[in-house]
Amino acid sequence: MNTAMTPVFHPPQITTPRAVAGLLLLSLWLGWVLPALLRSLPTPPQAMTAEQILDSLGGPVPAVGTPILLLAAGHCPCAAAAVAQPALHVIDRRDLAAALPYAWVVLDASRRLVYAGPAQLDLGCGGRSPSAAPLIQQLLAHPQAPLIIPSPCSCPQE
């Protein structure tokens, strides 16, 4: 057995006034920059309730006896792109863009909110975002609580 002791390396202490001043300035700068960066991060939009969405429609919706797709807003730059729309009675209400942050609002035949959200569902990374039309058809076929998706523009921006 080897009983020789190996020396342990101890790094030198930083005690020069210049190094201490540099560390102090770095900590002050980080204390100022990090909170400013955190405040500048975008906050996700808050979901409106079904009642708030219906109140924001700007008056009564015409009775047509079928489900209605309200084209409410065009916040995304790619909103003008061809998106497969569900086979519903379409009413253009883009004048409500300031009051209603959803691209599509779908009401069933009894004027109950079914869907409020983007026209294109966010697929994540890669691929093309699919239309929300098949999802809306499923929601109309199987009544349930309204689906409200408060998502920011999911379109790729270059």
With beta carbons less than 8 A apart as the criterion, state whether 131 and 137 touch: no
pLDDT in tens, 12-71: 676 788 888 888 999 999 998 888 888 887 666 667 788 887 777 766 777 767 888 877
Please give the share of the chain, as a percent, with pLDDT higher than 70: 66
List, for residues 60-84, the tens digit of each pLDDT value. 777 767 888 877 765 554 544 445 5
The C-alpha atoms of residue 114 and residue 150 are separated, in whole angstroms, by 14
pTM: 0.59
